[in-house]
Structure 1
Amino acid sequence: MSTPYHSQYWAHALTLRGSGSDIAALSRSIANARVDLNPHQIDAALFALRSPFTNGAVLADEVGLGKTVEAGIVLSQRWAERRRRILIVVPAMLRKQWQQELSEKFFLPSEVLDSRVFNGLRKNGLANPFDMKDKAVICSYNFAAAKTAEVSKVPWDAVVIDEAHRLRNVYRSRTRLQNNPAARKTMAHRITDSVGKAPKLLLTATPLQNSLLELFSLVSVIDPHVFGDIASFREQFINNPDEVSRNLQLKQRIAPVCTRALRKQVTEYIPFTNRVPITQEFLPTEEEQSLYDEITTYLQREVLYALPASQRQLITMVLRKLLASSTVAIARTLRRLADRLENLRGELDLLDDEDIDGVDELADEYEEDAEADTEGEIDPEKLEDELSDLRRYAELAARIGHNAKGDKLLPALQIAFAKAQELGAARKAVIFTESRETQLYLYDLLNANGYEGRVVTINGSNNQPHHATIYEQWLTKHAGTDRITGSRAIDMKAAIVECFRDEATILVATEAAAEGVNLQFCSLVANFDLPWNPQRIEQRIGRCHRYGQKHDVVVVNFLNLRNEADKRVYELLSQKFKLFDGVFGASDEVLGALESGVDIERRIAEVYQTCRTNAEIQAAFDALQAELDAKIQARLAATRQALMENFDEDVRARLKVSREKTVECLSQRERWLLDLTRVELDGQAQFDPQLPRFLYSGADARQGWYNLDWKAAETSDEHFYRLDHPLALRLIERAICRKLPVAEVAFDYTNHPSKISVIEPLVGQSGWLEVSKLTVAAVEVDEFLVFAAITDHKQVLDEEICRKLLSLPATIGPEITEVPDLADRRKAEVAARLGEIDTRNAQLFDEEVLKLDRWSEDLKLSLEHEIKELDKQIRELRRTSALAQSLQEKLDYQKQLRDLERRRNSKRRELFDAQDAIDQQREELIGKIERQLKHTSTVQTLFTIQWTIV
Structure 2
Amino acid sequence: MLQTPFHAYYTAMKLNMLQDENTLLPVFAEGKIDVYPYQVAAALFAVRNPYQKGVILCDEAGMGKSHEAMLIISQSWYEGKNNILIAIPNPDLLIQWAEMISEKYSIPFCIASENNSFVYDGIVITTYEYLTQNIDNADKIKWDIIIFEEANSLSSVYQDENTFIRGSGSKQAKLLKEFSKNTFKILLTGTPIEKNIMDLYGLIFFIDDELLPDADTYMKTYLRRPENYPELAAKVSKYCFRTLRSQAKQYAKIPERLHITLEYEASEKEKELYKLLFAYIEKPHKIAFPQMEQYDLALMLLGLLSSSTAAIKMSLKNIIKRLYISEEKQEFEKMIAIAESITEDSKSRLLLAALEKLFPLLKRLGAKQKAVIFTESLETQKYLYGVLKDKYKTLVYNGQSNVNYNVIKQFKEDAQILISTDNGAKGYNLEESSLVINYDLLYNTLKMEQRIDRIHRINQQNDCIVLSFINKDNFADVRKLELVSKRHILSDGVFGVSDAVMGGFCDNLDKAIKSLNVRTKAQIEKDYQITLAQNENKNKQVVESAEDILFTTFTKELSDKIKITPRYAEEQSKVINDELWELTKFYFEEYNKTHQDCYFEINEKNRTIKADNYTKLPHLFYYPTNNGNKPYKAIKEFKKFSLLSPLSKGITFNISCADYGSIKADCEKCTIALYLIKIYSGRREIKNIPVLVGITEDGKLLTHNECEDILNSPVYFFEEQGERRAYWLKSEKNDNMDRLINLDEYVKKEEEKLTPMQQEEINRMKLAAANRKNILLHSLDDTELDMKQAEREKESVKSDRLKLLKIERKISSLKNEIRKKKEGLFFDEMRIDVDLENKINEFLGREKITARAARQFVLEIN
TM-score normalised by the shorter chain: which range applies?
0.5 to 0.7
Matched with 1:918 is 832
Q: Given the superposition, is the C-alpha separation of residues 89 and 870 from structure 1 closer, same or farther in structure 2, using an over 3 Å criterion?
A: same
2 CA distance for matches of 1:239 and 1:533? 18
Q: Give the alignment of 1:426-437 within 5 angstroms.
A: none
Matched with 1:166 is 153
The one-letter code sitting in structure 2 at the alignment partner of 1:137 is: I
The one-letter code sitting in structure 1 at the alignment partner of 2:703 is: D
- Contact 1:17-1:782 within 8 A present in 2 as well: no
The answer to whether structure 1 residue 549 and structure 2 residue 464 are counterparts is no
Q: Give the alignment of 1:562-641 within 5 angstroms.
A: 625=480, 629=484, 632=487, 635=490, 637-641=492-496
Q: Give the alignment of 1:865-904 within 5 angstroms.
A: 865-867=778-780, 870-871=783-784, 874=787, 877-878=790-791, 881=794, 884-886=797-799, 887-904=801-818
- Size of the aligned set, in residue pairs, is 680
Q: Secondary structure at the match of 2:774?
A: helix
Deviations 1:347-393 (A, max 9, x none): xxxxxxxxxxxxxxxxxxxxxxxxxxxxxxxxxxxxxxxxxxxxxxx
Deviations 1:127-157 (A, max 9, x none): xx345454413204x4445555555554332
Matched with 2:55 is 57
- What is the CA-CA distance between 1:15 and the residue it aligns to? 0.9
Matched with 1:905 is 819
- What is the CA-CA distance between 1:681 and the residue it aligns to? 6.3
1 CA distance for matches of 2:370 and 2:781? 67
- What is the CA-CA distance between 1:47 and the residue it aligns to? 0.9
The answer to whether structure 1 residue 216 and structure 2 residue 201 are counterparts is yes
- Pick one of 782, 788, 797 that aligns with 2:702: 797
2 CA distance for matches of 1:853 and 1:776? 28
Matched with 1:105 is 104
- Pick one of 155, 161, 175 that aligns with 1:190: 175
- What is the CA-CA distance between 1:55 and the residue it aligns to? 1.0
The one-letter code sitting in structure 2 at the alignment partner of 1:136 is: V
The answer to whether structure 1 residue 256 and structure 2 residue 256 are counterparts is no
Matched with 2:763 is 850
- Per the normalisation by structure 1, the TM-score is 0.58
2 CA distance for matches of 1:796 and 1:546? 54
Gapped runs of 5+ residues in structure 2?
A: 265-306, 311-346, 398-404, 498-549, 590-599, 618-637, 723-731
The answer to whether structure 1 residue 425 and structure 2 residue 366 are counterparts is yes
The one-letter code sitting in structure 2 at the alignment partner of 1:203 is: L
- Contact 2:436-2:455 within 8 A present in 1 as well: no
- What is the CA-CA distance between 1:60 and the residue it aligns to? 1.5
Identity of aligned residues (%): 21
Q: Secondary structure at the match of 2:125?
A: strand
1 CA distance for matches of 2:233 and 2:352? 54
Q: Given the superposition, is the C-alpha separation of residues 550 and 9 from structure 1 closer, same or farther in structure 2, using an over 3 Å criterion?
A: same
- What is the CA-CA distance between 1:205 and the residue it aligns to? 2.3
- What is the CA-CA distance between 1:622 and the residue it aligns to? 6.1
The one-letter code sitting in structure 1 at the alignment partner of 2:125 is: V
- Pick one of 828, 835, 845 that aligns with 2:741: 828
- Contact 1:416-1:556 within 8 A present in 2 as well: no
- Contact 1:87-1:159 within 8 A present in 2 as well: yes
Matched with 1:270 is 252
The one-letter code sitting in structure 1 at the alignment partner of 2:100 is: E
Matched with 2:677 is 774
Matched with 1:487 is none
1 CA distance for matches of 2:250 and 2:712? 34
1 CA distance for matches of 2:142 and 2:816? 47
- What is the CA-CA distance between 1:239 and the residue it aligns to? 9.3
1 CA distance for matches of 2:465 and 2:744? 62
- Contact 1:788-1:826 within 8 A present in 2 as well: no
The one-letter code sitting in structure 2 at the alignment partner of 1:267 is: K
The answer to whether structure 1 residue 724 and structure 2 residue 644 are counterparts is yes
1 CA distance for matches of 2:485 and 2:229? 24
Matched with 2:84 is 86
2 CA distance for matches of 1:912 and 1:896? 24
Matched with 2:777 is 864
- Contact 2:443-2:480 within 8 A present in 1 as well: no
The one-letter code sitting in structure 1 at the alignment partner of 2:662 is: E
Matched with 1:31 is 29
Deviations 1:517-552 (A, max 9, x none): 9786x5566999999999999999867653233323
- Contact 2:157-2:170 within 8 A present in 1 as well: no
- Pick one of 641, 662, 666 that aligns with 1:744: 662
The one-letter code sitting in structure 2 at the alignment partner of 1:156 is: W
Q: Secondary structure at the match of 1:781?
A: strand
- What is the CA-CA distance between 1:657 and the residue it aligns to? 7.0
Q: Give the alignment of 1:265-344 within 5 angstroms.
A: 265-274=247-256
2 CA distance for matches of 1:416 and 1:626? 24
Q: Given the superposition, is the C-alpha separation of residues 80 and 728 from structure 1 closer, same or farther in structure 2, using an over 3 Å criterion?
A: closer
2 CA distance for matches of 1:873 and 1:36? 62
The answer to whether structure 1 residue 136 and structure 2 residue 124 are counterparts is yes
The one-letter code sitting in structure 2 at the alignment partner of 1:6 is: H
Deviations 1:16-38 (A, max 9, x none): 277xxx30233334434721121
Between stretches 834-843 and 65-74, larger displacement belongs to 834-843
Q: Secondary structure at the match of 2:458?
A: coil
Q: Given the superposition, is the C-alpha separation of residues 108 and 672 from structure 1 closer, same or farther in structure 2, using an over 3 Å criterion?
A: closer
- What is the CA-CA distance between 1:210 and the residue it aligns to? 5.2
1 CA distance for matches of 2:351 and 2:201? 49
Q: Given the superposition, is the C-alpha separation of residues 847 and 824 from structure 1 closer, same or farther in structure 2, using an over 3 Å criterion?
A: farther
- Contact 1:170-1:188 within 8 A present in 2 as well: yes
- Contact 1:260-1:644 within 8 A present in 2 as well: no
- Per the normalisation by structure 2, the TM-score is 0.64
1 CA distance for matches of 2:641 and 2:440? 42
2 CA distance for matches of 1:942 and 1:553? 57
2 CA distance for matches of 1:936 and 1:834? 6
The one-letter code sitting in structure 2 at the alignment partner of 1:789 is: G
2 CA distance for matches of 1:95 and 1:630? 33
The one-letter code sitting in structure 1 at the alignment partner of 2:657 is: K
- Contact 1:160-1:202 within 8 A present in 2 as well: yes
- What is the CA-CA distance between 1:862 and the residue it aligns to? 3.6
2 CA distance for matches of 1:58 and 1:813? 53
The answer to whether structure 1 residue 947 and structure 2 residue 861 are counterparts is yes
- What is the CA-CA distance between 1:230 and the residue it aligns to? 3.3
2 CA distance for matches of 1:523 and 1:84? 37
Deviations 1:857-907 (A, max 9, x none): 232234335445645664675576466533434423321221111111111
2 CA distance for matches of 1:856 and 1:805? 56
2 CA distance for matches of 1:830 and 1:276? 59
Q: Secondary structure at the match of 1:790?
A: strand
Between stretches 770-779 and 637-646, larger displacement belongs to 637-646
Q: Secondary structure at the match of 1:83?
A: coil
Q: Secondary structure at the match of 1:173?
A: coil
1 CA distance for matches of 2:70 and 2:601? 34
- Contact 1:685-1:694 within 8 A present in 2 as well: yes
Between stretches 50-59 and 671-680, larger displacement belongs to 671-680
Matched with 2:847 is 933
Matched with 1:486 is none
Over the aligned positions, Cα root-mean-square deviation in angstroms equals 5.7
